[in-house]
Structure 1
Amino acid sequence: MLFNLVYDLVLMVLAIATLPQLLYQMLFHKKYRTSLLQRLGVKFPQIKKNGHKLIWVHAVSVGETKAVSTLVKKIKKAQGNALILVSTVTETGFAEAKRSIPEADYHVFLPFDFNWIIKPIVNQVQPDEVILCETDFWFNFLKNCKNRGAKISLVNGKLSKRSLQRYLSFPSFTKRVFSLFDLFCLQSKHYQDRFLQLGIPKEKLQITGNLKFDADMTRMQEIELHNWKKKLGINTKDLVLVVGSTHDPEEKIVLDAVKGLWEHIPDVSVVIVPRHPERFNEVANILERKRIGYRRYSQPQTGNGQEKVILLDAMGLLKQCYQLADLALVAGSFTSKVGGHNIIEPSWYGVPVLFGPHMHSQPELLELVEKYQSGIQVDNNNLADVLKRLFSDPNERKKIGDAGLQMVDGLTGATKQTYKILFQL
């Protein structure tokens, strides 16, 4: 009882501390306007089970939603009568869930973890199973689901070194949270070792692989690629650099390097895809301050059609962009605050990959890329030189891209294995 009161008190203190930032984002970036009411427990849909099993799948944001999408599709196909509710935290994650998991019966925002908000929601939903993807462990949510008799599982489980240290610093909280889980389906032994350090029984820890490797990577036809390139306003003769999932200050780093590239190889178009939509205008301002000609995907083509930068100010199109690329740079890796994104994704299309020095959030992906030599790790100092070298050498680009195709050829199967263990087949 005392623990529950302390937990809610800590949440309240954190909520008050972050309130100014929340209001700022709502007023100036229009963030959280769609999700706030539902996260407060208001306008949460009325769930009608009608005697059917209900599976609650939670994925915090875009990456986790993409990862769990293939598993949800398999569950729905195999258990057609089961109801599936998919929850996310971010608005971009919610949009991705609607796009990539249309099979779900309900798409919702996960309510805030105050007991007085989440308990009535869980009691109304009455989940039979709860499946969390990767991370995002909320004590009151999990406790109330367990009290309702739900089986709780983690899929595509991972645990960063930083998170491990934090959990070890609060052993009482850690024990209470992770004891609520019945099963952990983990990406690799690397993560299994970390969960073992938290005192979780080994029999609960299963290595099932990375669900992201089973994501739908349907390739566009040649005519589709041609039309997509035309829609973006890219000259058919240009080479294309796609810079995916950028965060502040990565656009500045890349653009400084690209300016040097253009001095030697002017016929290179650059597609910049920010990770978060609230930064679209910010990135546009960066381009204007640097006096770089650009066009926004969302706006009609203007000017003389000679803009060399396309700002992809829309969500859900990164895979299509990677298929256009002669070279991809996966961002989130030039800032220690993020620690890298999915550097495997361009390899599905035979596209050579560059990424920055900060990959601590994706150690298993870094290990794979290094093993197959399907990408090159760069830093702020040598990025311009590596860009010049690769855009001058199609043979090296092809060699790296082919290595990527070889790598991804043997990576699938996590969805099948995870489903088998989840439902004890």
Structure 2
Amino acid sequence: MIYALYRGLTDAAGPLVPLLLARRTRAGREDPARRGERLGNASLDRPPGPVIWVHAASVGEVLSVQVLVRRLLERDPRISVLVTTGTVTSARLVAERLPDRAVHQFAPMDRMAFVRRFLDHWKPDLAIWVESEIWPNMLTEMETRGLPIALVNARMSERSFRRWRRLPRLIRRLLGIFRVILPWDERSARNFRALGARGVGTVGNLKFSSDPPDADLEELAAMRAAIGRRPVWLAASTHPGEEAQIAEAHKALAAKRPGLLTILAPRHPDRGAEIAGLVEGMGLRAIRRSETALPEAGTDVLVADTIGEMGIWLRVCPVSFIGGSLVPFGGHNPIEAAQLGAALVYGPHMTNFPDITAQLGQARAAMPVADAAALTVAVGRLLDDPLERRRMARAAAAVAQRNRGVVSTVMATLEPLITPILA
């Protein structure tokens, strides 16, 4: 009954979709040249041979799934991979990083006409979705076509669990369509099982198997030269409500550490102008990376409002604060910073990564802080104590290294679904 209502509403909303896409395009959230892909209209030909469709909704999922895409392509030279995403930022990132025999499209919106158009063209032999994507129309149509589908690095937060528990019959039916569900932590596994999912097996977080982000060597050298011997720290993947706290922390830290540079990398780079204005309004000198290549001697805060340069920031900053954790967002992935030798600090809201933060905590590889005042103390301590900073960085890197084999376990679990499409 609930699904029939959803199907009816999405069908009826068809005439409104162009208006929605136009509005999203004006806001910079759609690529105007590729809006047809959101309607299921392919802009590329289907490659010959078996096609495995990997869907990664946004930037975080794209970063975690890159290593899996490579392993799928290495599995057999006949395989091609179709990667779909739903955001403009993730599409740009995918375009830079896709290997040969992999192509990108924007995912169609979940209206049956668009879904069928997409599936009719691409005819995937296997679908692998990442993290928390559950689209009723797409799932039911794939079930009708007999298309095997797996959910990897699956996440079911407490909030999502409570929401889906109100629709027990619908979620049980939808989860039952997946042949394999591989949650990234035990909490998610328990929640999936409680909602009626079968084939649930926890193998760990694919992000551990991802390579650390690259850095352009010339840009990296130029940034290091510009920073010189100045003390520097990074606030990575910040959200609204955090930037003002970061700026206040900078003021307190700089009072005792002349020349301090804070690199502030917002989760959404299109907020660069807004953040620079906020920082300057607090009496600090800010520049935007998108407008000025390098910080000057008088720069207090470098707003890193570009895409694909996190590898630079993590390499030049010995201390990294993980954003989304001073506000109740749930935190972001600390693994990349751990892989690249940063001492980690994060706030009280790291609920998106309970297993990872538990491992980091057991290894004394990170400093959790309760608020902005405690953040200031922690960052100051690490900037002033290179021995403790290096000890924490080594401990964090060891945690990351111990978990590198997750992708091999995922591939082994998926093998019963891959073998038949190659027969």
Percentage of matched positions with identical amino acids: 25
- Structure 1 equivalent of residue 310 of structure 2: 318
CA–CA separation in structure 2 for the residues paired with 1:302 and 1:281: 17
Q: Deviation at 1:6?
A: 0.6
Q: Which runs of 5+ in 2 are unaligned?
A: none
Q: Deviation at 1:89?
A: 0.8
Does the 8 A contact of 1:239 with 1:267 survive in 2? Answer: yes
2:155 maps to which of 133, 158, 165: 158
- SS where residue 372 of structure 2 aligns? coil
CA–CA separation in structure 2 for the residues paired with 1:354 and 1:85: 36
- SS where residue 199 of structure 1 aligns? coil
1:399 maps to which of 391, 397, 406: 391
Q: How many residues align?
A: 416
1:190 maps to which of 181, 187, 191: 187
Does the 8 A contact of 2:213 with 2:310 survive in 1? Answer: no
- Structure 2 equivalent of residue 371 of structure 1: 362
1:223-256 CA-to-partner distances (Å, cap 9, x unmatched) read 87433423xx42x111220111111011111111
Which deviates more, 383-392 or 122-131?
383-392
1:84 matches 2:81: yes
CA–CA separation in structure 1 for the residues paired with 2:17 and 2:2: 23
- Structure 2 equivalent of residue 6 of structure 1: 5
CA–CA separation in structure 1 for the residues paired with 2:112 and 2:20: 23
- SS where residue 264 of structure 1 aligns? coil
Q: Deviation at 1:55?
A: 0.7
Does the 8 A contact of 1:130 with 1:145 survive in 2? Answer: no
- Structure 1 equivalent of residue 177 of structure 2: 180
Within a 5 Å distance, the mapping from 1:215-234 to structure 2 comes to: 215-217=210-212, 225-230=220-225, 233-234=226-227
C-alpha spacing 1:239/1:369, structure 2 compared with 1 (3 Å)? same
Q: Which amino acid aligns with 2:277?
A: N
The CA RMSD measured in Å over matched residues stands at 2.7
CA–CA separation in structure 2 for the residues paired with 1:216 and 1:170: 38
1:384 maps to which of 356, 376, 390: 376
Q: Deviation at 1:23?
A: 6.5
Q: Deviation at 1:390?
A: 2.1
2:335 maps to which of 324, 344, 351: 344
Q: Deviation at 1:276?
A: 1.0
Q: Which runs of 5+ in 1 are unaligned?
A: none
1:95-114 CA-to-partner distances (Å, cap 9, x unmatched) read 22222323353201111101
Q: Which amino acid aligns with 2:310?
A: L
Within a 5 Å distance, the mapping from 1:23-422 to structure 2 comes to: 26-27=25-26, 29-34=27-32, 37-41=35-39, 43-50=41-48, 52-201=49-198, 204-217=199-212, 225-230=220-225, 233-234=226-227, 236-300=228-292, 305-336=297-328, 338-378=329-369, 379-422=371-414
Q: Deviation at 1:339?
A: 0.8
CA–CA separation in structure 2 for the residues paired with 1:184 and 1:301: 44
Q: Which amino acid aligns with 1:297?
A: R
Q: Deviation at 1:281?
A: 1.6
Which deviates more, 57-66 or 136-145?
136-145
Q: When the two structures are superposed, what TM-score results if normalisation uses the length of structure 1?
A: 0.90
C-alpha spacing 1:286/1:408, structure 2 compared with 1 (3 Å)? same
CA–CA separation in structure 1 for the residues paired with 2:148 and 2:56: 17
C-alpha spacing 1:355/1:293, structure 2 compared with 1 (3 Å)? same
C-alpha spacing 1:361/1:394, structure 2 compared with 1 (3 Å)? same
CA–CA separation in structure 1 for the residues paired with 2:396 and 2:55: 30
Does the 8 A contact of 1:152 with 1:183 survive in 2? Answer: yes
CA–CA separation in structure 2 for the residues paired with 1:266 and 1:20: 52
CA–CA separation in structure 2 for the residues paired with 1:412 and 1:144: 35
